[in-house]
Amino acid sequence: MDVMIRRGDSCWYYSRLFSIDLQLIHDSNEGIDPNQLAIGQRVKIPGFVASDYQLKAGDSLWSIARNRTISLDALFLLNPSLNVNTLQIGQVIFLPLRITWRLVTANQEYSYARMINDLNRLRQVYPFLKMPSAGETVLGKSIPEVLLGKGDKRVHYNASFHANEWITTLTVMTFLNDYLLSLTNQNPIRGVWMNQYYQQTSLSIVPMVNPDGVDLVLNGPPEDEPYRSRVLDMNGGNDDFSGWKANINGVDLNDQFPARWELEKERNPPNLGPRDYPGEEPLTEPEAIAMATLTRKRDFDKVLAFHTQGKVIYWGFENLEPSESRSIAAEFSRVSNYEPIQSIDSYAGYKDWFIQDWRRPGFTVELGQGVNPLPLTQFPEIYEEALGIFLAGLYM
């Protein structure tokens, strides 16, 4: 929602009028000097939308403000040309509507198109969100990154490295939505006030690392050649891609990183396919290159990669992880009841590479339990387990 500045208005006044943190208003209006607002300039108010209302018999601005618990001045602010002496039945005015519900819903499979639609809706309501592109997929889809927060602590979450683990994207997106609701409605999550973490932590999220693969699992092969014929051939002619983990080229993106990659290459399938093929060399695939480039650019203090399944937290690699990784993993375990495991016989993963090259805490979190892709019926349980980890990732 945006409003037009009147004489004497200020961002501080809008903060009081709409009960929105002043920092969020400033961050929603980058490029506007809050000390030099001009009459007629538009200012975005995060957490609100302007809702149409058709006047009925007996309505007055005073009765509408009283019944809707809206400041009368907020009504005039949204309707600057309104004349209270000429109101008519059927006339449409705008009311400020505070968003108190999730825009991200878990009512169907979560494709790339659904994610992009949800991100655009979130950006419209919460304009302090920043959404640069981390790169592009093989098929040219943008890989969005979401940036949230002002602090010096740099934390990164990602999901759907593997195509049939798309439920991890829905889980991360739901947390993002809840974080935004907490900030703009000043409600804690599990007793945690999120405003302090907005000030202390800069959170980077790549909610879907592998969009081409996710769409292959959910929607079947693309129409474009040669990709359609290739994926069908790699899948043995079967048009059921529910077991597909790789990108559209048949390369497993979480086996693409230069962290003892040669060992992974030796024991994994030698050819392109639905899963586990690490490529001819590290970092050949555009999605893996995008994640490596982003990680170098942002210089994260801590990374969490969300996968399915197993209800475990992997926190080490070749004993190169820092000492605090153990205590962070213990806290993740406490809030989720997931089992912390230092390492397994696995190499070339994103968190492995991060630990190896930065010697900072990196984690692979395996959400839920069962056979991938996990069904949507598991989502409520998965989200409740993951929520504690999302929060702990900010405060640890």
Q: Do the domain assignments include residue 267?
A: no
We report the CATH number of the domain holding residue 10 as 3.10.350.10
Question: Whole domain around residue 347: which residue ranges?
Answer: 112-213+282-395
Q: Do the domain assignments include residue 245?
A: no
> Are residues 92 and 123 located together in one domain of the fold?
no
Q: What is the pLDDT of residue 90?
A: 95
> Are residues 20 and 120 located together in one domain of the fold?
no
Q: Do the domain assignments include residue 191?
A: yes
Active-site residue (options: 112, 157, 198, 347): 347
> Are residues 25 and 163 located together in one domain of the fold?
no
Q: Which of 50, 70, 98 is the last residue of a domain?
A: 98
The count of structural domains within the chain is 2
pLDDT digit string (tens) for the chain, length 396 residues: 999 999 999 999 999 999 999 999 999 999 899 888 999 999 999 999 999 999 999 899 999 999 999 999 999 999 998 888 889 999 999 999 999 999 999 999 999 999 999 999 999 999 999 999 999 999 999 999 999 999 999 999 999 999 999 999 999 999 999 999 999 999 999 998 999 999 999 999 999 999 999 999 999 999 999 999 999 999 999 999 999 999 999 999 999 999 999 999 999 999 999 999 999 999 999 999 999 999 999 999 999 999 999 999 999 999 999 999 999 999 999 999 999 999 988 899 999 999 999 999 999 999 999 999 999 999 999 999 999 999 999 999
Q: Do the domain assignments include residue 53?
A: yes
Q: Do the domain assignments include residue 202?
A: yes
We report the CATH number of the domain holding residue 296 as 3.40.630.10
Active-site residue (options: 197, 366, 383, 385): 366
> Are residues 297 and 361 located together in one domain of the fold?
yes
Q: Do the domain assignments include residue 106?
A: no
Q: What is the pLDDT of residue 229?
A: 98
> Are residues 189 and 55 located together in one domain of the fold?
no
> Are residues 154 and 297 located together in one domain of the fold?
yes
Q: Do the domain assignments include residue 323?
A: yes
Q: What is the pLDDT of residue 125?
A: 98
3-state SS of the chain is CEEECCCCCCHHHHHHHHCCCHHHHHHHCCCCCCCCCCCCCEEECCCEEEEEEECCCCCCHHHHHHHCCCCHHHHHHHCCCCCHHHCCCCCEEEEEEECCCCCCCCCCCCCHHHHHHHHHHHHHHCCCCECCEEEECCCCCEEECEEECCCCEEEEEEECCCHHHCHHHHHHHHHHHHHHHHHHHCCCECCECHHHHHHHEEEEEECCCCHHHHHHHHHCCCCCCCHHHHHHHHCCCCCCCCCCCCCCCCCCHHHCCCCCHHHHHHHCCCCCCCCCCCCCCCCCCHHHHHHHHHHHHHCCCEEEEEEECCCEEECCCCCCCCCHHHHHHHHHHHHHCCEEECCCCCCCCHHHHHHHHHCCCEEEEEECCCCCCCCHHHHHHHHHHHHHHHHHHHHC
> Are residues 56 and 143 located together in one domain of the fold?
no
> Are residues 141 and 184 located together in one domain of the fold?
yes
Q: Which of 60, 76, 98 is the last residue of a domain?
A: 98
> Are residues 87 and 9 located together in one domain of the fold?
yes
Instruction: Give yes or no: 347 in active site.
Output: yes
> Are residues 22 and 65 located together in one domain of the fold?
yes
Q: Which of 98, 133, 158 is the last residue of a domain?
A: 98
> Are residues 34 and 139 located together in one domain of the fold?
no
pTM, to two decimals: 0.96
Q: Do the domain assignments include residue 246?
A: no
> Are residues 208 and 152 located together in one domain of the fold?
yes
Q: What is the pLDDT of residue 253?
A: 98
Q: What is the pLDDT of residue 86?
A: 87
Q: What is the pLDDT of residue 345?
A: 85
